[in-house]
Structure 1
Amino acid sequence: MKERDYSISLLRIVAMFMIVGCHIASFLNNNIIAMILNVGVEIFLIISGYLYSNKVIINNKKFIVKRSKKIIKPLIVTTLMYIVFAILTKKIINIKAIPFLLCNFQGLNFLISAIKVPQIEGLSHTWFLTVIVLCYLLLILVKELEHRYEYKYSLRGTVLLILALVGLDLLFIPLGIQLGYFLTFFVGYILGKVELKITNKMYLLSTLIMISSLGIRLLGRHFFDGTIFYANIIAIFTQILLALWFFFSVKWFISKFIFFDMVSKSDIVKILDSYSFYIYLTHYMFIVGTLSVKGFINGTFLQLIAIVIFTIFSAIIVKFIDSIVF
């Protein structure tokens, strides 16, 4: 039996805090910090691809039903809770968006710009859940192809495969189709396949690449902000590189320092990891939209405290209901 990879739990927590931090930075109008932290989704995608790289899918139908249920069930609970909160506070919401959320179609417009999907602003961040379910569907196809052609991953073949995926993504961007999220997922998948050992030299190289990508991102933002070139090419690819650096960093620090290894195995990490998905689901409704704390509470400090308290309270509720509902 393969030994548990404790770095994944720590990475999930890092990704969750980065997503929440990004949204809070935007709430505080600190766009630079928001831009740097806006990499949590890519970390989640890399983790997901990595985790499924060496898992065998015995029954495709059972696999996709089980994975979809694990994602959509708490999404439905969160959506219903949002509706209840809106009713109790006498707030107006976009009811046209509710069917899309309940079917997990709310993220289709993030993938195909021609598709217009109505949104509930405080739940618009859940577009990621649409993407990850589609990644699982593609995963089934990839697993079938690997089995049929007995494909073996080599370093050279991996580099060529990633370049092919990048080329495919660039090909579809002018058509308004964003494949960068699928690219990110399968970069993580390939990393798991090649079982890459993160040496000191490799980590140093990844750090230099990360610093360079941040420089490119800042320059791109300055000269090309508001363009397709910046949003769909510079932003997406620099975020993938930054997410990879965080992935390498957590694994490298755990392998090199006993303190980080102990932290990754601690009870607090286990607890935070078990709540990370629910915190991700619930936090945004209190930052933007009709349920934003700005509409109830005055003063930035008190608003931030309220966001934390309401998020924890809501995450506990959603997790509890999710655990007792079939």
Structure 2
Amino acid sequence: MARKDWSISTIRMLAMCSIMACHLCQLYGLPAAWVLNIGVQVFLMISGWLYGLRPDFSDIRNWYAKRLIRICIPYWVILTLTLILNALFASRYISIREAILCISCIKSGLVPNAAHLWYVSVMLLCYLLTPALSYLWRRKPWSIAPCCIALLCFGNQLVSEGIWCVDYIIGFILGRLVREGVDEQYVLIFTVFVAGSGSLVLWVISLQTGASVGTGLHLLGGPLLFSLFRLLLGSERYKPSSSLRSILRLNDSYSYEIYLAHQLLIIGDFSLALIFPSKPFLVIVLSIIWSLLAGITLHKMASPIQRFATVLIGQREN
């Protein structure tokens, strides 16, 4: 059995906390929300890194089926709940066209009170590209660069926020380099140097010209923070305490569902801040509790449907 990589689990936990803190800051109009939103790009780096480390695909159909079942079913459950709540109580409505785009996962962030669900469309696009990335890496690794350029130019036209797939591809490339024998420390140090230098250049340009460089800083910030935390924690030296391990296992199991469910009572028509407008600390505490309980509940609701779908399509284990 492969040894548990606690550094990846810890980075995933930090990314999840960053995203929740981002939306809480957004609720109260704090500028830190812009910085904390980098957790999404770190999530994409983690996914790309892990798939880059894995062997090449032996059964692409089976792999796609597993990804669709894992990603879409919890999404459809929370989407159904959100659409019902919006129909009954929300001040904003969604058109039939927008509903179709959301249900089909083409543009999953159009639902009022659930704009964060754009992440689902991005992840599905990343997974759609993954077998192609693996194939290109075996044949002509340099040909992945035009894919990144195409996503930078047209990614947002393919799906909402599709440009962030570039961070997934960067993570995939880094993982594949390590899998093929390049020293991980060198790979991570090089990434920190390049992403850090690029971020510094963009920041200076912004100061000198007033140009908006937010997208570039987030694109580079994902690889920078992932590589930096990976270097600091280390894959071999880092050994969290038993209590922290329990928390990390919980987050590993439910982080996707927590992400899907957490924003519903933080921002929008159902925000807890509307019930407790003068008690921000209580809102924060209740939001954290809600996120954990809702994520676990969503996982429990989706699991039997996922098992049924697995049996229905005759999916095999990889």
Tell me if TM exceeds 0.5. Answer: yes
Provide the residue aligned with 2:105 in structure 1. Answer: 104
Instruction: Provide closer, same or farther for how the CA distance between residues 184 and 127 of structure 1 changes in structure 2, counting only shifts above 3 A.
Output: same
Q: Where do residues 87-98 of structure 1 align in structure 2 (5 Å cutoff)? A: 90-96=89-95, 97-98=98-99
Give yes or no for the alignment of 1:277 onto 2:253.
Answer: no
Q: Once the two structures are superposed, what CA deviation does each residue of 1:69-107 show, in whole Å capped at 9, x if it has no partner?
A: 11110011112233455577x445524344333221224
Letter in 1 for 2:239: D
TM-score, with length taken from structure 2: 0.78
For 1:289, the aligned partner's letter is: G
Give the alignment's TM-score, normalised by structure 1.
Answer: 0.77
Q: How far did 1:2 drift? A: 5.4
What percentage of residue pairs aligned between the two structures are identical?
A: 24
- Mapped to 2, the partners of 1:307 and 1:221 lie a distance apart of 36
Q: Any idea what the Cα deviations from partners look like across 1:169-193, whole Å, max 9, x if unmatched?
A: 5554898997632221111111011
Q: Please give the residue correspondences for 1:144-293 in structure 2 after superposition, counting only pairs within 5 Å.
A: 144-146=135-137, 150-151=138-139, 164-165=146-147, 167-169=149-151, 171-172=153-154, 180-195=163-178, 196-199=182-185, 203=189, 206=192, 210=196, 213=199, 216-217=202-203, 220=206, 223-224=209-210, 230=212, 234-255=213-234, 258=237, 260-263=238-241, 266-293=245-272
**What is the match of residue 312 of structure 2?**
none
Q: Assess if the C-alpha contact under 8 Å between 1:255 and 1:261 holds in 2.
A: no
Matched residue SS, 2:183: coil
In structure 2, the CA distance between the partners of 1:175 and 1:52, relative to structure 1 (3 Å rule), is: closer
2:300 aligned residue: 320
- Change beyond 3 A, Cα 1:127–1:224: farther
Deviation at 1:133, TM superposition (A): 0.7
1:129-144 paired onto structure 2 within 5 Å: 129-144=120-135
Corresponding residue to 2:116 among 95, 120, 125: 125
The 8 Å contact of residues 44 and 167 in structure 2, kept in 1 or not, is answered as yes
Letter of the structure 2 residue corresponding to residue 44 of structure 1: F
Q: Which residue of 2 aligns with 1:29?
A: 29
**CA distance 1:18–1:211, change in 2 (3 Å):** farther
Offset of residue 130 of structure 1: 0.5
CA gap of 1:81–1:223, structure 2 versus 1, over 3 A, is: farther
Residues 174, 138 of structure 1: CA spacing in aligned structure 2 closer, same or farther, 3 A cutoff? closer
- Worse-matched range after superposition: 43-52 or 200-209: 200-209
Shift, 1:308, TM fit: 1.8
Structure 1 stretches lacking a partner, 5+ long: 108-116, 154-159
